[in-house]
Structure 1
Amino acid sequence: MLKHVLLTSASLCAVMVPQFALAQANPPAIADIIVTAQKRAENMQDVPIAISAVPASALAESGIRSTQDLAQSVAGLNVTRTTEATVFTLRGIGTQGGSTGQDGAVATFIDGVYMPSMAGATFALNNIERIEVLKGPQGTLYGRNATGGAVNVITRTPQQKFSMDASIGYGNLETMEGNLYATGGLAKGVAADIAVYYRNQDKGFGENRVIGTDVNKSRDFIVRSKLLFELGPDTSLTLAGDYGHTKGSLAIAYRPVPTSQLVDGTGYAQFVANGNGYYDSQSEFNPVVDTKSFGGSAKFQHGFGDFTFTNILAYRGAKGFQRVDVDATALKIVDAPLYNKEKQWTEELQLSYDSGPIKAIAGFFYMDAKSQYDPFQIAGLAISGETGGLSDRLVIYSAQKTRSYAGFGQLTWEFATDTNLTLGARYTVDKRRLHADQYFGIGIPLPDAYCSAYCRPDGTLFPLGTIDQAKTFKKPTWRIALDHQFGRDLMVYASYSRGFKSGVYNLTSPADAPARPETLDAGELGFKSTLMNRIRFNAAAFYYKYQNIQAFQVNGASTTLTNAASAKIYGFDFDFQAEIGAGFSLSGSGAYLHHRYGDFPVATISYLQQPAGAPTYAGYTPGLGNYVYPNCSSAADRGQFYCSATGNKLVNTPDFTLNLTLNHQVELAGGTLKSNFNWSYNSGFYWAVDNRLKQPKFSLFNAQMMWVAPEERWNIRGWVRNLTNKKYLLSLNENGTGDEAVPAPGRTYGVSLGFHF
């Protein structure tokens, strides 16, 4: 399959594109893409960083609605879900798990504001100007927890001239979707905008066969607004605010995977025999995620001479409720209702300079954040078994406070004609403090319906103890890059950089010591080219040395956050875009990764049952999957073992990814008919460090067709996503109650009507 994929892409790039282009009369020139990857506006082709930029037009044409869809346009990026958290894995660098207080290894920013919550990385892409995916450690200008890269989301800027775009659509599964963006001037020098997005998938992909309700559905609402004050020719103030609410059972309705045995003695065969389909689940309650996120920012910018001063003050908050059936059975064995809250203040000061051969920026970043479970609970027979029937619930109130300080600077010097040297450095200090109170619940009934008491403890709590910990993490990071422009259409660069991901506490197991910081040293060699003014082709090769990888180790119903070993990753990726002519354009990207863990002698491997004939130990509870087997000599053994994962492949990391997008437009009936076809390929990846369960390779096809009326006053659009109804997984958990997974959405389709004023 890979051979055919690579031959196809190479043929399209090297043969078809030039022949088509030469055959057409005056095909259009390819448009420049302006990015702010180095915190100044530059042509993407002049920036010595591997960047995949997706402008608003490409988002609309490809039907990319949310951050979860980005992998279909950015090769080397894998996107999975863990309950409410969106997990980005870029070139093999990502975060295993997604609990509250845990940071992503690929940092997310909206208009320069850092989004520490992994739940905050899940949002609809309305009013977007472009998305920039920066590959490799961004340890200087972005710094905090940008080990693997950064996803920069840039929203539209309010305009004085009034305009409005609106659309309303309907799709299968009784899905309603609406989108509105309006902007205009309020007074001289004052402009505002507002963006509203609503989507309600009222019917689920599957059914909870135990209680007869739909699962794998969601409802999303987002509103964003900006207010721009132009205080002078070189001075501006932008106030921004947003609110989002997501509710549903998407990414949380677990069901067994093939070959899995569950803790109640059933398994996948019994699941199918009971009449369950691929998207169905079996649970004594309906799993749910209910998350609200909100925030605001003030960005002040003033230019004086060759200098520009920027100050960004921002607040972010999130709160949510989740209820997860961890055991994926109709019995109340491991029921996990929880409340999570997050809030943060950030302040960033920047002073930039641009004159002659020197471009420089220096700044200071400060963050004050708190992440907490209020509370985190594990209820059911698993707890009853551990306590001899005295309690059916473990209740944990835990909070992590973080104060982060960083000073940074970067300088680019054109020391010879068309040759630039970039030097950057950052020093980060993270102060973490954890406080937790743990209880057993006595006489607390847990409702079977949708948590009528919001699953909060309402009975007697027996205290188990209080935990207080504190730790400070300090680390310098840097970047060195050299680039040279060979004529107008070719730039070659080489870079060496280091990224750092802070140490962190595990709020679900607060007695554990904090995980140590991760570091990533990266070498990269790349080029950016433009051919015949109609083809853009950029590529990079890289080598990574990844140290102290933070990894979750599953232990029955609970998890432990530890440091895995090192890993070595190398590979290459590329992006291209071509204006073919006759209304056709072609774009795509591809990536190859070789990735292996280094010395990793103690990895936790989770199975359901104790191996036959294996010795027992004092802490073993039959049926709870917490058996520790020291040798792990056979994959056929079942239980939970401490094994070696040395030489295994990294989690959530496919060897090959590729995507191609073909666009076409033609004049029709006085208007314009626009067509889009997108194909993305993923070679498959492992879900855990044991490399026991793998997501097989899969391809996704999306298509849409839109007719735009004269003067673009209105349009009608038809679309289909996952055209072939490919079945693949959104997430998978290996744990002591069995192996359970959540299916990704199947085929969806619909129509919409849009207006422009």
Structure 2
Amino acid sequence: MSRKTMLISASAFVLALSFHTNPAAAQNEATGSAATPQAGSSDGLEEIVVTAQRRSESLQRAAVAVTALNAESLERQAITSAAALTVAVPALQASNQAGATTFYIRGIGAAAYNPYTEPAVAFNMNGVYISRPTAVNGQFFDVQRVEVLKGPQGTLYGRNATGGAVNLIFRKPDYGQFNGTFGATYGNYDEVLLNGALNVPVGENGALRVAFQTEDHDGYFKDGTDDAKDRAFRVSLGAQLTPDLTVNVVGDYADIGGKGGGGSFLGINGKVFDNFLNVGGGNRIAFGNLNGAVIPPTRVGLGNPAYTALYNGHFLNFITPGLVAPLPQYLSKMDTQAGGVMAEFNLKTSLGTVTFIPAYRELHTDNFMTMISHWLVDRTDQKQTSLELRLASDDAQPLRYVLGAYYFNESADFLIEPDNQFVGVVQEQGNVSTKTAAAFGQLTYALNDTLRLTGGLRYTWEKKGIDGTHGIGIPASFTSGPNLNPLIVVPAAPEIIIDTTRTFKSATWKAGVEWDAGPQSLVYANVGTGFKAGGFFFAQSNNSYDPEKVTSYVLGTKNRFLNNRLQFNLEAYYLKYRNQQLAHLAFVQGLDPTRPVTGFPTENVGSSTIYGFEASVEFKPVRKLLLGVDVNYTHSRYDEFKYTVPDISLLPALGLPSGTLLPSTGCAFSLSGATYTINCSGRQMFQSPEWVISGRASYTIDLGSGGSLVPAVQSRYESARWLSDSFLPETHVGSNTRTDASLTYNAPGDHWSIAAYVNNIENDDVPSNVFLNSSHPIIPFVSATLRPPRTYGIRARVNF
């Protein structure tokens, strides 16, 4: 069966299923809204309320693709960070690299590692957009739920949501109540995780809630990296000031420390070296016995002394022996602080509920990260202010609407300094700024008791600016060492100077239809668009890129059967991705046109087509047994993916024949004059496995007097995927599985619980992201971040 046939079959099945429903559909008396599902009970499946469409509604009645995880699910799956969401959401690939969390949903995302690149999946905390991926760490405690929306969210969420959105919703204060919770986890790698919350009444109609979390564990790599030393707290003050007015004010602060993410050396791309070593020139180009290099074990870590031998034996013949100091002198450290204050005012009026969300946040980083053959300094001082005003109608009327306006202002001072021990220090510093304003609305009109039409529109205005410099110099450590080999001695490159602004405007829209095929069966079809503004990167010319746009077509159904014991949801999707933005290491134009400079440009490389389906089944055959299966199929291909890089062979300092040094890519390429054209068209999109299948089961054993014992297991299969746009063989990851298991005792009345757990039973070392140490074609070292190894331990919680 072809892939297109599979997609068509899935769509047809959605329609066919809608007719196989409870004949009691005619008894539905709801007017102007979806039928109200049966409430969850101990005998049936739980009902989850979400705000994915900027209004409260049942997850099963929301005509969008969204996965919701409550607090219990997050704790059971050991999700204490944004990157850990991958284990619970099949369509999501999340990872942490260089202190920043990257998200890819259905193949769409972005490597936003520096202040002048931006993500393609919007991350929101309590309804506030968080612009910097580094600022999302340390926030996963005292959480009400997490929502992951799949596909472009251009109408209600706007900017930087071409791939989707991740919503983190904190637990709100319980008015007039005194309660609390405290949890503790101890595990291998000397893990100690403590979190808790205390809710104190402030009169009958208010409450103060204070929550905290500390997390410590040793590094997953032997050099101590991939550790945790995080501290965070949150204070929430909520009150019902009048029968129609409520307010919730939240202040939060997180300190992320430790050594930060670790890396594993995957290898060297031999194709580049083979071409280079066959050129004459004697010892000047001798590079040692590359094929005989002994690669240290996977979790040694890039800062481990084991790499010194690798350098001395195979890399330092390229320059002067003894020049490069052992990496243990350059151990990583994380020093990141993020925090802010936000408020939410809700006022009930005759027109609906008015919601106002003002927010101010800051991010400060002073991070130092060791990578293969070089280190990276990242210093950022970022501030953002946002305002959102919405009006949401009541549900009990034929016309429902959400109308709103949005304003966002960001400024970030930065210093980024990668020190390549073979080439030099690349230093980028300056300021980036963004101002954006938007007006939006989404209306849903009920044609009758079961059929509704939806239309939405958003207009966005965005102005971006950058003012900074880019330069290259010799590392300070080299000034006291021997002279470099003439092959790579290059005088300090002229700086790139950039000071410019650009304005972007876009209208995004949504159109959809919903049909209640039964009391607990919803069928929906949507067409929607997403927009991500263009921007800048460091280059003396051609230093900006255009917006990217995504159009999504979906057909889905959500159903409950067997008296609320069986849930079956299915969605088929088709996306067209145009003017796609790609951020990657490459050479860019400097002041001297004869000497390209290493940079991190974002380019519009072409277009892609993505299609597939996602199916989810929850089944509670008896009250004590809960089963679940999720299947996600994504066929993603680059229709057009082309970009150019200069032929570095022609650099005056090298003086090599044209075409001697090949570009670091696994794609087809051709040379014309002094420029390579790289063509990756037809390739599978990276960070987009075709198949992700997960299953889970839990069983509640009653022990009498209200106590229970709950064994649970879940497993996730992921097919092969690429991790980088370079498509080098070293960046391909084969299929893998991860299995987690736990055994939980719940005391009578749920006053306390204790659980033993083990995660990643297979203990496989699975790369989550890769990076090349340099875009220099002579040194294409490939390193990777890894998902956590096998972890196990005991966790306990007390509720009062």
TM-score range, shorter chain: 0.7 to 0.9
Q: Name the SS for the 1:564 alignment partner.
A: strand
TM-score (norm 2): 0.81
TM-score, normalised by the number of residues in structure 1 = 0.85
CA contact 1:257–1:741 (8 Å) conserved in 2? no
Aligned match of 1:165 in 177, 181, 188?
181
AA at the equivalent of 1:674: V
> Which residue does 1:62 correspond to in 2?
77
Match of 1:755 in 2: 798
Between 66-75 and 92-101, report the one with greater CA deviation. 92-101
User: Equivalences for 1:512-551 in 2 at 5 Å?
Assistant: 513-532=543-562, 533-551=564-582
CA contact under 8 A between 2:629 and 2:696: conserved in structure 1? yes
Residue 544 of structure 2 aligns to which amino acid in structure 1? P
Structure 2 residue 215 is matched with structure 1 residue 199: yes
- What is the aligned counterpart of 1:236 among 246, 251, 256? 246
Q: Aligned pair 1:570/2:611, yes or no?
A: yes
1:639-696: CA deviations, max 9, x gaps? Answer: 9953111111111111111111212211226421122211111112112234332121
Amino acid at match of 1:171: G
Specify the SS of the correspondent of 1:216. coil
Mean alpha-carbon deviation: is it higher for 359-368 or for 115-124? 115-124
345, 351, 369: which one aligns with 1:300: 345
Task: Tell me: CA distance 1:540–1:112, structure 2 relative to 1, closer, same or farther (3 Å).
Answer: same
Give, in whole Å, the separation in 1 of the partners of 2:75 and 2:652.
59
Written as runs of structure 1 = structure 2, the 5 A alignment for 1:270-419 is: 270-272=293-295, 276-281=297-302, 282=307, 283-284=327-328, 285-326=330-371, 328-329=372-373, 334-354=374-394, 355-373=396-414, 375-384=415-424, 393-419=425-451
Aligned to 1:688: 724
Q: Which residue of 2 aligns with 1:740?
A: 783
1:31-67 CA deviation, whole Å, 9 max, x = no partner?
Answer: 2211111111111222211111112222222232222
Question: For residues 465 and 63 of structure 1, what CA distance do their matches in structure 2 show?
Answer: 45
Q: Contact 1:252–1:288 (CA<8 Å) still a contact in 2?
A: no
- When residues 215 and 307 of structure 1 are mapped into structure 2, their CA distance, relative to the original with a 3 A threshold, is closer
Residue in structure 1 matching 2:500, options 458, 464, 469: 469
Distance 1:598 1:634 in 2: 14
1:49-104 deviations in whole A, cap 9, x for unaligned?
Answer: 11111122222222322221212111111112321111111111111342223221
- Return 732-741 or 628-637, whichever deviates more: 628-637
Q: Say which SS state the counterpart of residue 68 (structure 1) adopts.
A: helix
Distance apart, 1:236 and its partner CA: 0.9
2 CA distance for matches of 1:356 and 1:150?
Answer: 28
Letter in 1 for 2:714: N
* Aligned-partner Cα distance in 1 for 2:604–2:384: 26
Alpha-carbon shift at residue 539 of structure 1 (Å): 0.9
Give distance in 2, aligned partners of 1:525 and 1:335.
47
Report if the CA contact (8 A) 2:667-2:726 is conserved: no
Distance in 1 (alpha carbons) for counterparts of 2:393 and 2:667? 60
Aligned positions of 1:487-502 closer than 5 A: 487-502=518-533
Specify the alignment match of 1:181 in structure 2: 197
The equivalent of 1:458 in structure 2 is: none
Distance 2:196 2:754 in 1: 15
Alpha-carbon deviation of 1:403?
0.3
For 2:102 and 2:660, the matched residues in 1 are separated by 27
Amino acid at match of 2:227: K
For 1:119 and 1:510, the matched residues in 2 are separated by 28
Residue type of the partner of 2:251? G
Would the alpha carbon gap of residues 344 and 198 (structure 1) be closer, same or farther in structure 2, given more than 3 Å must change? same
Indicate if the aligned counterparts of 1:357 and 1:413 stay in contact, CA closer than 8 A: yes
- Tell me the distance in 2 between the aligned counterparts of 1:93 and 1:681: 20
**Aligned letter for 1:591?**
N
In the aligned structure 1, how far is the partner of 2:665 from the partner of 2:159? 38
Deviation at 1:504, TM superposition (A): 2.0
| Among candidates 267, 281, 285, match of residue 257 of structure 1 | 267
Cα pair distance change 1:571/1:520, threshold 3 Å: same
Q: Distance in 1 between matches of 2:244 and 2:289?
A: 68
8 A contact 1:340–1:371 mirrored in 2: yes
Identify unmatched segments of 5+ residues in structure 2. Answer: 11-16, 18-40, 274-286, 308-326, 481-491, 588-597
Alpha-carbon distance in structure 1 between the residues aligned to 2:495 and 2:630: 53
SS in 2 for 1:425: strand
CA contact (8 A) 1:628 1:642 kept: no
Superposed CA deviations along residues 163-217 of structure 1, whole A, max 9, x for unmatched, are 111022211111111111111212232211111111101x322223xxxxx2221
Greater mean alpha carbon deviation, residues 364-373 or residues 286-295: 286-295
Any conservation in 2 of the 1:603–1:689 contact (CA below 8 Å)? no
How many Å separate the matches in 2 of 1:604 and 1:589?
A: 42
Are the structure 2 counterparts of residues 707 and 633 from structure 1 closer, same or farther at C-alpha, using a change threshold of 3 Å? Answer: closer
- SS of the equivalent of 1:206 reads coil
Is 1:426–1:478's contact at 8 Å kept on the other side of the alignment?
yes
Contact kept? 1:621, 1:627, Cα under 8 Å: no
Q: Distance in 2 between matches of 1:73 and 1:267?
A: 41
Report the secondary structure of 2:687's partner residue. Answer: coil
**Is residue 481–residue 496 contact of structure 1 (8 Å, CA) maintained in 2?**
yes
Q: How far apart are residue 442 of structure 1 and its match?
A: 7.8
Q: Deviations over 1:236-290 (max 9, x none)?
A: 1110011112223443435243767999767696343xx5453432334212332
Match of 1:456 in 2: none
Aligned to 1:664: 699
How far apart are the structure 2 equivalents of 1:271 and 1:242?
A: 47
How many residue pairs get matched?
693
Do the aligned partners of residues 359 and 206 (structure 1) sit closer, same or farther apart at CA in structure 2, a change above 3 Å counting? same
Q: Is 2:390–2:405's contact at 8 Å kept on the other side of the alignment? A: yes
CA contact (8 A) 1:555 1:626 kept: no
**Change in 2 beyond 3 A, CA 1:271/1:204:** farther
Task: Confirm or deny: 8 A CA contact 1:254 1:325 kept in the other structure.
Answer: no
Task: Give the residue type in structure 1 aligned to 2:512.
Answer: A
C-alpha separation in 2, matches of 1:467 and 1:394: 15
CA distance in 2, matches of 1:665, 1:234: 42
Q: Given the superposition, is the C-alpha separation of residues 724 and 492 from structure 1 closer, same or farther in structure 2, using an over 3 Å criterion?
A: same
CA-CA distance at 1:364 after TM superposition: 0.6
Uncovered stretches (5+) of structure 1, i.e. residues with no partner: 15-25, 209-213, 385-392, 449-460
- Aligned AA for 2:293? Q
Aligned to 2:30: none
Is the CA contact (8 Å cut-off) linking 2:44 and 2:623 kept in structure 1? no
- What residue in structure 2 maps to residue 19 of structure 1? none
Question: How far 1:630 moved relative to its partner?
Answer: 12
Q: Verify: 1:105 aligned to 2:148, yes or no.
A: no
Counterpart residue number, 1:389: none
Equivalent residue number for residue 435 of structure 1: 467
| Paired amino acid for 1:592 | Y
Of the structure 1 ranges 342-351 and 78-87, higher mean CA displacement relative to structure 2 is found in: 78-87
Tell me: CA distance 1:67–1:380, structure 2 relative to 1, closer, same or farther (3 Å).
Answer: closer
Residue 68 of structure 2 corresponds to which residue in structure 1? 53
The counterpart of 1:486, out of the listed 498, 513, 517, is: 517
The residue aligned with 2:310 is: none
Structure 1 partner of 2:485: none
CA contact (8 A) 2:265 2:298 kept: no
Change (3 A) 1:57 1:227: same
